[in-house]
Amino acid sequence: MRGLVVRNTGSWYEVKTDDDRLVECKIKGNFRLKGIRSTNPVAVGDYVDIVENKEGTAFITEIKDRKNYIIRKASNLSKQSHILAANLDQCMLIVTINHPETNLIFIDRFLATAEAYRVPVSLVFNKTDLLDKEEQQRQDELINIYTKINYPCFKVSAKLHTGMEELKNGLKGKVTLLAGNSGVGKSTLINALLPDLNIKTGEVSESSNRGTHTTTFSEMYELPGGGYIIDTPGIKGFGTFDMEEEEVSHYFREIFKTSSGCKYGNCTHTHEPDCAVLEAVRKHEIAESRYISYLSMLEDKNEKKYREAY
């Protein structure tokens, strides 16, 4: 029987079978995955084959090939990885202009990593009910920057349920990972999308200290309109993606596109003469904030200083 892994508690997996049952499964055999050493061979979002015994126990016997997956290093020193989710259609990054203010470098690093994973991302601007005129303007500026480079943007208030129809449309029929810094309203938004669920929000999540360790498990929820959302409690974004210095610019769409006009093929877009990217930044064709994020990722190649943020 084929099924979809929708929950992983560490010791067993909950699998939604093709005939629409939820079956608790253990793993049978030894799943060695090519290329990655993982603390969890099976992840939420995996399609698997299961075998059910007469005694009522069930085992996962095979993992189907993954379209993609995102990982997180078990720890900085460890070579082991934890697979957060597999087979994503897209990611939605929840951000807020204020209360708390989401850092633009964080957003751009997230987008760059998603490019590297080849997972499409949309931005969800939450807490729009809290914004004054100036903040609304700032939000529109950012939405302008990101829609211009083809990242869809949504404006919502998870609290007042505004903008939810557009968001639901964007989620329909897809497997979507929800990400965002703590406090941006991810839990509130999930509750708004799944009124029957009622997951903890606000202070409670602080005190229970969830997600500070790598034993955090992802959960997948089926949407009433079709499709799934995946929540990775306590995890703000993707794991770091090891990229070479030359590669960084490939993951900033507009910088990559513009770089074809640079004089030197190995241009880093920092100091070189006849650099089309620097020229575009000067002319405001490339947003300064995006360029600053690019520089911060370049620096990070040496200093690894922003790794903490992930």
One-letter amino acid for residue 221 of the chain: Y
Residue 59's nearest CA partner among 81, 27, 105 is 27
Residue 239 binds which entry of Zn ion, ligand GDP, none, with Cβ cut-offs from 5 to 8 Å by kind? none
Residue 275 binds which entry of ligand GDP, Zn ion, none, with Cβ cut-offs from 5 to 8 Å by kind? Zn ion
The nearest distance, CB 178 to ligand GDP, in angstroms, is: 9
Beta carbons within 8 Å of 302's beta carbon, 6+ residues apart = none
**DSSP letters spanning 176-238:** EEEEE-TTSSHHHHHHHH-TTT----THHHHHTTTTSSTT---EEEE-TTS-EEEE-TT--SP
Identify which range of 33-41, 191-199, 232-240, 258-266 contacts Zn ion by CB under 5 A.
258-266
Residues 123-152 that bind Zn ion (CB under 5 A): none
**Residue 280 DSSP code:** H
Residue 269 binds which entry of Zn ion, ligand GDP, none, with Cβ cut-offs from 5 to 8 Å by kind? Zn ion
The nearest distance, CB 183 to ligand GDP, in angstroms, is: 5
The nearest distance, CB 188 to ligand GDP, in angstroms, is: 3
Nearest residue (CB) to Zn ion, 220 versus 262: 262
- 286 lies in the site for Zn ion, by CB under 5 A: no
Residue 84's nearest CA partner among 25, 42, 32 is 42
Nearest residue (CB) to ligand GDP, 58 versus 85: 85
Residues that bind ligand GDP (CB under 6 A): 126-127, 129-130, 157-159, 180, 182-188, 201-202, 205
